[in-house]
Amino acid sequence: MGRSVKQGSAAGRVAVIGELNVDLIAGGLGGAPVFGGEILAPEFEMTLGSASAIFACGVARLGHPVTFVSRVGRDHFGRFCLEALRGAGVSTRRVVQDAGLRTGVTISLSTRRDRALVTFLGAIAEVSPGQAPPELFRRHRHLHLTSYFLQRRLRPAFPALLAEARRRGLTTSFDPNSDPAQDWGDGLKDVLRETDILFVNEEEARLLTRQRKVEAALAQLGRSVPCVAVKLGARGAAAIRGGEVRFAPGFAVEAVDTTGAGDSFAAGFVHGALGGKKLRECLELGNACGALSTMRPGGTAGQPDRARLTQFLQTVKKQAASAAPGSN
């Protein structure tokens, strides 16, 4: 991942093969609801959902042309998803509208600290390997896959898709996301063998490695994957690449909704990696993108473009410098 590319050029084009759904977000909750009871939601939004789409929008806003491959129903939610992607500058030419399916829906119950999700799979489970022929990867620089456990039809093809992309000179990234069945089967090993950058959160890192400490999990994963980033929420993130281990603290922001923050982190990290940035810089870019995304409801409304990202980082560094001992 040390190769540098010209940002925004064809060489920086990113392919994302994945699921599409809408998010119905009840935000600002004071606590979790319980069966037999009712609580009030101060906020409600319908936004573009899915880890794949949130990543795609995030990396597109940072200047990378994005090709999105997916499947939706020929329904209102499907049209909503397509319009949202196009509004973010993502190509939807390879998104199939299937009249025989209903577009997936995720209901997000969100507090300022965490969230709970309920998902109706619908078309999410029906994205097929045939939608991503080898010629898809022409003129692309990077392939990102996520939502491994939700994409039941595509799941067996993950290793082959990543391998084909690498054979054609692309770099690859993979974020498994959580397993609703909590099984974490052996099939992931084949996926990791074809992955250049692995994204996991703290709990996923432990489940994958059976290690209790993040440092030990990171080291173990780093022996299988060239670059691994572990998302630590508000605390920041840690990564290993080529034996180098780095930690970058999170940014203090007024979080409104954490939906998709990890996918925005991945977009910022991949943006840095494609630009040949050092590992700590990749972490810093990812943390900034993740933090900014939490300041608006939904996964995409708060995502920064490059100008906003640069401004945010410059402001944070100036504030840190002025607060340092002896700065006055």
Question: Which residues are known to be catalytic?
Answer: 263
* Segments in the chain forming alpha helices (H): 51-61, 76-87, 158-167, 188-192, 202-209, 214-222, 261-274, 279-293, 306-323
Paired residues of 107 in beta bridges: 24, 118
Coil, strand, or helix at residue 245? strand
Question: Which residue has 């606590």 as its token pair?
Answer: 31
Q: DSSP readout, 30-84?
A: SS---TT-----SEEEEEEE-HHHHHHHHHHHTT--EEEEEEEESSHHHHHHHHH
> Reading across the β-sheet that carries 104-110, which strands appear in turn?
43-49, 21-27, 104-110, 115-120
